Amino acid sequence: MTLTQTKDKPAQELKKTTMTGSEAVIHSLLQEGVDTIFGYPGGAIMPIYDALYDFQDKINHVLVRHEQGATHAAQGYARVTGKVGVCFATSGPGATNLITGIADAQIDSTPMVCITGQVPSSLLGSDAFQETDVIGISMPVTKWNFQVTKPEEIADALAKAFYIVRSGRPGPVVVDITKDAQFGSVDFTYTPCNRVRSYVPVPKIKEGALKAAAELLNGAKKPYILAGHGVLISGGTDALVQLAEKAGIPVASTLLGLSAFPPDHPLYVGMLGMHGNYGPNILTQACDVLIAVGMRFDDRVTGKLDTYARQAKVIHIEIDPAEVDKNVKADVALMGDAKAVLEQWLPMVNKNEHADWVNEFRKCDAIEEEKVVREALNPDGEELKMSEVVNLISEKTAGEAVVVTDVGQHQMIGARYYKFRKPDSNVTSGGLGTMGFALPAALGAKIGRPDREVIAIIGDGGFQMTLQEMATIFQTKAAVKVVILNNNFLGMVRQWQQLFFDRRYSFTEMTNPDFVSLSKGFGIEASRVSERDALGSAIDTMLQHDGPYLLEVMVEKEDNVFPMVPAGASLDEIKLEK
């Protein structure tokens, strides 16, 4: 996402006014168009919270129940709005509790500004109460971080922070502000940041590379597009569809790229990756030109790198130079914003069709349908399967909801069986794989897009990692719908134990609380369903409820997710059954 594409209001210059450093923080955020903050107060950030008290008519502060929840809520908010997510936390444990969410935002390219309070500058390095080196701790997982020790530094630091998170490949920043800087006085002026010396967020698109890529593509017999998160971040869905249609190229999606290409389009062939579809995985090994758009060839997509698409010429469209040639060598790298590259490249691409090649994917679809999908959606057994639950939710919402998933079996089932028909509808923890992500991220998504149905699909394990945010949902009255797929197991770990550790279920079975009573204890209406005949009406009741709602669905305990590319195996070794 480039600065010009952000959906935040543009920052404005503000004339000189004397105020405290804390007031300068709030005025800086207002200048950047911030209207929502997720946070948790504490000693070292109290002056900022005191300043915020006078701006409650301009900024909605969401009081989460744990700082990790603040980061995930900010991620959910950012992923569905295109705006910057903003978090507040105090020093010490407040700041360290942010780290998981910051790392998650970094690897999943989510724009987020985290503002932390810090002990007075005179106490830095003295091991004062609640002092921790958040700059050192957060450095490996941020785009940029900075410690403010003087009130005069606040406006420029925040202007730079917002410029960096929005420009180029989005990501998180941390601005740590000492307490004396918050209390101090400053003649406040605000100048938006539009440039940082030596920082080139968006590489210039090279005409020669475009021509070289077009020559490769125009001569291809079996071209193949892999669509990643960068398509959505750049707003490049329409350009991608135009390219695919003009040249008749089949399109597969990464996990985070879901909703970047219409699922019912005749050229869409499914999801890549460890639990992706059969055809997209196995035919990666048969294409002759592979076009990767805004994706980073992570190990869940490539499987064993030594055997990955060795026969293909690779065209990599990417905004971050660090991702090019990192895992897979590109024959042609098209550096730049994905949408801009696609739009400039399109006129050089010849009109073409590859019907026989596309038909190879359809033959694979038929094999997967027989081996996997038929039983997944129409099981013979009495117990409910996760796949039929997600499929029914997809049908009842017409594929138009924002679906927020955690990590594990339910995440892969959600990705496989929910038909995302609108862009920016799939919110999940992709790279870091953070259990506990979904509940607070769904809260943030609903606050950011109250006009859309937001459904959190969560496993019983992940739900219990951040369930305290049910209190935040109750307090905000955000109408999040929560579906717990309860198999009383840490399901994905159990699946691996079954397949690769001789069924030795070492500490993965869970004795769970009564989730329905728990939800009602938080003041949120809830119900439980375990019978197939009652599933449809239970989902209807949830969707029609005015306000937040929790639906616990009891599912088959030892259900497995297939297809599966075992860790470290080649894509050719994909398994369709045990």
Catalytic residue numbers, as ranges: 67, 129-130, 179, 492
Alpha-carbon distance of 396 to 540, in angstroms, equals 8
| Spatial CB neighbours of 578, under 8 Å, sequence gap ≥ 6 | 499, 560
Radius of gyration of the chain (CA): 24
DSSP-based helix, strand, coil % in the chain, nearest 5: 40, 20, 40
By the 10 Å C-beta count (0-12 exposed, 13-18 middle, 19+ buried), 263 is classed as middle
| Spatial CB neighbours of 359, under 8 Å, sequence gap ≥ 6 | none
By the 10 Å C-beta count (0-12 exposed, 13-18 middle, 19+ buried), 549 is classed as buried
Phi-psi label, residue 542: left if phi above 0, alpha if psi -120 to 50, beta otherwise? alpha
Token pair for 307: 């055997």
Question: Residue 118 in contact with residue 136, Cβ under 8 Å?
Answer: no
Question: Residue 280 in contact with residue 252, Cβ under 8 Å?
Answer: yes
Token pair for 269: 């062939």
| Spatial CB neighbours of 56, under 8 Å, sequence gap ≥ 6 | none
Alpha-carbon distance of 10 to 208, in angstroms, equals 34
CA distances from 491 to 105, 173, 187, 458 (A): 25, 34, 57, 11
List, in sequence order, the alpha helices (H) in 304-456.
Answer: 338-345, 355-368, 374-377, 386-396, 409-417, 438-448
Residue 179 neighbours by CB distance under 10 Å: 24
What is the maximal distance between C-alpha atoms in the chain?
Answer: 72
Alpha-carbon distance of 553 to 529, in angstroms, equals 5
3-state secondary structure 283-302: HHHCCCEEEEECCCCCHHHH
Q: Is the peptide bond before 172 cis (omega within 30 degrees of 0)?
A: no
Question: Residue 405 in contact with residue 414, Cβ under 8 Å?
Answer: yes
Question: Residue 253 in contact with residue 273, Cβ under 8 Å?
Answer: no
C-alpha torsion 175→179→182→185, nearest 10: -130
